[in-house]
Amino acid sequence: MFKKDNFLVGIVAGIIVPVACFGILFGIKYLLGTFFQIAHEYSVTKLMFVSVALNVLPVRYFYVAKNLPKIAMGVLLITVVLIVTVVLSF
Task: Give the span between the Cα atoms of 75 and 77, in whole angstroms.
Answer: 5
- Provide the pLDDT for residue 12: 94
Q: Say what the pTM is.
A: 0.83
Quick: pLDDT tens for 38-54: 766 778 888 888 999 99
C-alpha to C-alpha distance for 48 and 87, rounded to whole angstroms: 10
Task: Answer whether residue 62 shows pLDDT above 70.
Answer: yes
Give, in order, the Cα–Cα distances in Å from 33 to each of 20, 24, 41, 45, 47.
20, 14, 10, 17, 15
Domain boundaries, the chain: 7-88
Decide if 13 contacts 55 (C-beta within 8 A).
no
Per-residue pLDDT at 79 exceeds 90? yes
- The whole-number pLDDT of residue 39 equals 67
